[in-house]
Amino acid sequence: MVIQKEKKSCGQVVEEWKEFVWNPRTHQFMGRTGTSWAFILLFYLVFYGFLTAMFTLTMWVMLQTVSDHTPKYQDRLATPGLMIRPKTENLDVIVNVSDTESWDQHVQKLNKFLEPYNDSIQAQKNDVCRPGRYYEQPDNGVLNYPKRACQFNRTQLGDCSGIGDPTHYGYSTGQPCVFIKMNRVINFYAGANQSMNVTCMGKRDEDAENLGSFVMFPANGNIDLMYFPYYGKKFHVNYTQPLVAVKFLNVTPNVEVNVECRINAANIATDDERDKFAGRVAFKLRINKT
């Protein structure tokens, strides 16, 4: 014989719920007395307080081993890479001489990029250094901060300086300037105390033919030792990287040319096939003319 459970009315359900939330006879709130709730809250307060203290202590100990100025690990940056400006997608520098919009974006990027190199700004913030030697600034037991930087004046870029240049870095005449810069590596003595320079060439024989002639600024693509070592963004607050500007004079029009530039330095390898940017950079150059 099946005994049917008596169905409770809505009022009974509400009364039972009220009694569960607060039982005036036993003075229980949601099934527990005040003492029971106090012990539970105390337990979780101590438990999470301990976890917070443990996490804070761990972070503090770890931060004691980390310098505010120098990365702890730099093994992935043993060899600096090269990059170009203007910065473009896929490293393609495409110029349509008759279409101002096609090259004006490059000009605007270069104007902004070269602004810190203005001679007046460099004279105000940086030092005139002795060429041919590293500009070392050791701490000698006392924090030497901020580090001074050597001047790299925009006028050193010659015809690619963009100063009073009606050709807009040569982009309006089909003789564009491309700037090569070496990525920064903290405490790296580029060149191993020997002179170094940047060279550019076509990647293949047909590229070399279509590339034509070009000039480099500073002369021969030289990079002086005085711009090294680099001490980091927080130490070297006014540091400006040395640049090499390449002005392409007679690139075969309407043809895509593959160009590769390399840094020639005693302690920078440029033949690592696993890293295409180690000491070198490859880009495509195309000058369209109608």
The pLDDT of residue 102: 86
* pLDDT band at 242; cut points 50, 70, 90: very high
> Residue 289: what pLDDT?
87
Report DSSP state, residue 145: -
Provide the pLDDT for residue 277: 80
Least confident segment among 145-149, 192-196, 281-285: 145-149
Is residue 2 over pLDDT 60?
no
The most confident of 143-152, 170-179, 229-238, by mean pLDDT = 170-179
Contact 248, 240 (CB under 8 A): no
CB atoms within 10 A of CB 221: 21
> Which is more confident, 249 or 69?
249
CA distance 47 to 41: 10
Domains of the chain: 80-286 (2.60.40.1660)
Residues in the chain: 290
Per-residue pLDDT, 77: 62
What six digits make up the tokens of 166? 């009606």
Q: ω into residue 146 within 30 of 0, thus cis?
A: yes
Average pLDDT over residues 191-207: 94
For residue 211, the surrounding DSSP H or E stretch is: helix 205-211
User: Can you tell me the mean pLDDT for 138-161?
Assistant: 89
Q: State the pLDDT confidence band at 5, using cuts at 50, 70 and 90.
A: low
What pLDDT, in 10s, does the model give residues 58-103?
999 988 887 776 666 665 566 888 999 999 888 999 999 999 988 9
What does the pLDDT read at residue 111? 95
Region 220-243 average pLDDT: 93
3-state class (DSSP) for residue 90? helix
Is residue 15 over pLDDT 80? no
Distance CA 96, CA 107 (A): 13
pLDDT digits (tens, 9 = 90+) for 16-66: 777 777 777 777 777 778 788 898 899 999 999 999 999 999 999 988 887
Where are the extended beta strands (E) located within 99-193? 177-182
pLDDT of 75: 59
SS3 177: strand
% of the chain with per-residue pLDDT over 90 = 63
